[in-house]
Structure 1
Amino acid sequence: MSTTHVDTFAADHLPPREQWPEFLFDAPELQFPDQLNCATELLDGWVAAGQGDRLCIQGQGVRWSYADLQAQANRIARVLVEDMGLVPGNRVLLRGANSPMLAACWFAVVKAGAIAVGSMPLLRAKELTQIVVKAQVSHALCDARLAEELALARPGCPTLTQVLHFNSPDAGGLDARAAAKPAGFDNAKTSVDDTCIIAFTSGTTGQPKGTMHFHRDVMAACACWPKHVLRPTRDDVFIGSPPLAFTFGLGGLLLFPLSVGASTVLLENASPAALPAAIAQYRATVCFTAPTSYRAMAPQLAGHDLSSLKKCVSAGESLPAATRQLWKDASGIEMIDGIGSTELLHIFISHDEAHAKPGATGTVVPGYVACVLDDEGKPLPRGQVGRLAVKGPTGCRYLTFGGDDRQGQYVQNGWNLTGDAYLVDADGCFVYQARTDDMIISGGYNIAGPEVESTLLLHPKVAECGVIGVADEERGQIVKAFVVLRPGIEPTDTLVRELQDFVKQTVAPYKYPRAIEFRTALPRTETGKLQRFRLRQGT
Structure 2
Amino acid sequence: MPGFGHIPRDYAQAVEAYDPDIPEFFNFGRDVVDRHPPEKIAITAVSEDMETVRDISFGALSALTNRFADALARLGLAPGAHVMVVMDRVPDWFTVMLGANKAGVVTVPGTTLLTGRDIAWRVQATGAQAVIVTGRHCGKVETIAAECPSLRHLIVSGGTRDGWLALDDLLAGASETPPVVRTRATDLMMVYFTSGTTSAPKLVPRDHSYALAHAATGLFWMDLRESDLHWTLTDTGWAKAAWGKLYPPLLLGARVLLYDAAERFDPAAHLAVIERFRVTSFCAPPTVYRMLAQHDLGAYDLSSIRRSLGSGEPLNPEAIRVWHAATGHFIADGYGQTEAINLIGNCVGIEIRPGAMGKPVPGFDIDVIDDDGNRLPPGEIGHIGVHLSDPWPPGLFDGYITPEGRDRRAFRNGWYYTGDTARRDADGYFWFIGRADDLILSAGYRISPFEVESALLEHPAVAESAVVAAPDPTRGHVVRAFVVLASGWEADAALVAELQAFCKAQTAPYKYPREIEFVSDLPKTVSGKIRRVALRARG
Distance 1:67 1:88, change over 3 A: same
Does residue 231 of the first structure (1) align with residue 223 of the second (2)? yes
Q: How far apart, CA to CA, are the structure 2 residues paired with 1:286 and 1:526?
A: 30
1:294 aligns with 2:285: no
Which ranges in structure 1 are unaligned for 5 or more consecutive residues?
1-24, 441-452, 472-518
| Alpha-carbon contact 1:396-1:416 (below 8 Å) kept | no
Q: Could you say what secondary structure the match of 1:120 adopts? A: coil
Q: Tell whether 2:421 aligns with 1:421.
A: yes
Q: How far, CA to CA, are the matches of 1:98 and 1:324 in structure 2?
A: 27
Other-structure match for 1:208: 201
- Residue 286 of structure 1, CA deviation: 0.9
Change (3 A) 1:468 1:180: closer
> Is the contact made by 2:196 and 2:439 (CA closer than 8 Å) also made in structure 1?
no
Structure 1 residues 86 and 362, CA, compared in 2 at 3 Å: closer, same or farther? same
Q: Is 1:263–2:264 an aligned residue pair? A: no
Distance 2:38 2:439 in 1: 51
Contact 1:319 1:337 in 2 (8 A): yes
Q: Is the 1:240–1:275 Cα contact (8 Å) retained in structure 2?
A: no
- When residues 176 and 102 of structure 1 are mapped into structure 2, their CA distance, relative to the original with a 3 A threshold, is same
Kindly state the Cα deviation for residue 162 of structure 1 after the two structures are TM-superposed: 1.4
Distance 1:253 1:423 in 2: 31
For residues 515 and 364 of structure 2, what CA distance do their matches in structure 1 show?
30
Question: Partner of 2:401: helix, strand, or coil?
Answer: coil
The CA distance in 2 between the partners of 1:154 and 1:415, in whole Å, is 41
Deviation at 1:33, TM superposition (A): 2.4
What secondary structure sits across from 2:402 in the alignment? coil
1:76 aligns with 2:68: yes
Alpha carbons 2:369, 2:384 under 8 Å: kept: yes
CA contact (8 A) 2:369 2:385 kept: yes
The 8 Å contact of residues 78 and 104 in structure 2, kept in 1 or not, is answered as: yes
The 5 A counterparts of 1:437-516 are 437-438=437-438, 462-466=473-477
How far does residue 428 in structure 1 lie from its aligned partner after superposition?
1.2
Question: In the alignment, is the contact (CA less than 8 A) between 1:197 and 1:213 conserved in 2?
Answer: yes
1:202 offset after TM fit, Å?
5.3
- Conserved? CA contact 2:32–2:250, under 8 Å: yes
Aligned to 1:100: 91
1:337 to 324, 330, 333: 333
Deviates more, 1:425-434 or 1:528-537: 528-537
TM-superposed deviation, 1:187: 3.7
Structure-2 separation of matches of 1:252 and 1:426:
31
The equivalent position to 1:43 in structure 2, one of 14, 33, 38, is 33
How many Å separate the matches in 1 of 2:245 and 2:146?
34
Give 2:103's aligned amino acid: A
Post-superposition Cα deviations, 1:240-271, rounded to whole Å, max 9, x if no partner, equal 21123211221212211110111101222173
Shift of 1:434: 1.2
Counterpart of 2:41 in structure 1 is: 55
Matched, 1:276 2:271: yes
1:334–1:358 Cα change, 3 Å: same
Query: What letter corresponds to residue 379 of structure 2 in structure 1?
Result: G
Residue among 117, 133, 151 paired with 2:124: 133
Aligned runs of 1:363-374 on 2, under 5 Å?
363-374=359-370
Alpha-carbon distance, 1:399 to partner: 4.1
For 1:250, give the aligned amino acid: A
SS of 1:281's partner is: helix
Structure 1 residues 193-231: Cα deviation after superposition (integer angstroms, max 9, x where no partner): 101111111567773211111111210122x12212322
Aligned residues: 439
Residue 178 (structure 2) pairs with residue 185 (structure 1): yes
Is residue 218–residue 249 contact of structure 2 (8 Å, CA) maintained in 1?
no
Work out the CA distance in 2 between the residues paired with 1:133 and 1:393.
Answer: 30
Counterparts of 1:295-310 in structure 2, within 5 Å, are: 295-300=290-295, 301-310=297-306
Identity %: 27
C-alpha distance in structure 1 between counterparts of 2:513 and 2:329, whole Å: 28
Query: Residue 153 of structure 1: CA displacement?
Result: 2.3
Q: For 1:480-530, what per-residue CA distance to the aligned partner results, in whole angstroms no more than 9, with x for missing partners?
A: xxxxxxxxxxxxxxxxxxxxxxxxxxxxxxxxxxxxxxx9xxx9x989899
Moved more, 410-419 or 525-534: 525-534
For the structure 1 residues 179 and 127, does the alpha-carbon distance in structure 2 shift closer, same or farther, using more than 3 Å as the test? same
Query: Where does residue 321 of structure 2 map in the other structure?
Result: 325
Change (3 A) 1:158 1:398: farther
Q: Which moved more, 1:101-110 or 1:397-406?
A: 397-406
Give 1:315 deviation, angstroms: 0.6
- Is contact 1:202-1:246 (8 Å) kept? no
- Normalising by structure 1, we get a TM-score of 0.74
The CA RMSD measured in Å over matched residues stands at 3.3
1:154 alignment partner in structure 2? 145
Following the alignment from structure 2 to structure 1, what is the Cα–Cα distance between the partners of residues 255 and 384?
A: 34
Please state whether the residue corresponding to 1:400 is helix, strand or coil: strand
User: For 1:114-159, what per-residue CA distance to the aligned partner results, in whole angstroms no more than 9, with x for missing partners?
Assistant: 1111010010011111211111111222112211112222122111
Q: Residues 295 and 327 of structure 1 are in contact (CA less than 8 Å); yes or no, is this contact kept in structure 2?
A: no
Contact 1:209/1:398, CA 8 A, preserved across alignment: no
Offset of residue 407 of structure 1: 2.8
Aligned partners of 2:217 and 2:243 also within 8 Å: no
Deviations 1:417-473 (A, max 9, x none): 111111111211111111123499xxxxxxxxxxxx99x87xxxx5445389999xx
| Contact preservation (8 Å) 1:192, 1:216 | yes
The answer (yes or no) to whether the contact 1:375–1:387 under 8 Å persists in 2 is yes
Whether the 8 Å contact between 1:229 and 1:350 is mirrored in structure 2 is yes
Q: How far did residue 358 of structure 1 move? A: 1.6
Select which of 323, 345, 348 maps to 2:343: 348
Is 2:302–2:326's contact at 8 Å kept on the other side of the alignment?
A: no
What amino acid sits opposite 1:423 in the alignment?
R
1:95 corresponds to which letter in structure 2?
V
CA 1:337–1:206: 2 relative to 1, 3 Å: farther
Query: TM-score, normalised to structure 2's length?
Result: 0.74
Deviation at 1:280, TM superposition (A): 2.0
Q: C-alpha distance in 2, partners of 1:114/1:361?
A: 35
Q: What displacement does 1:381 show?
A: 1.1
Does the aligned pair in 2 maintain the 1:109–1:115 contact within 8 Å? yes
Cα gap change, 1:401 to 1:40, in 2 (>3 Å) = same
**CA distance 1:191–1:389, shift in 2 (3 Å):** same
One of 123, 133, 139 as aligned partner of 2:114: 123
Q: Report the AA paired with residue 236 of structure 1.
A: D
Distance in structure 1 (CA, Å) of the matches to 2:98 and 2:339:
21
Q: For the structure 1 residues 437 and 33, does the alpha-carbon distance in structure 2 shift closer, same or farther, using more than 3 Å as the test? A: closer
Q: Deviation per CA, 1:35-89: give whole Å up to 9, x if none.
A: 211211220111xxxx10011112133211111111111111221111x211000
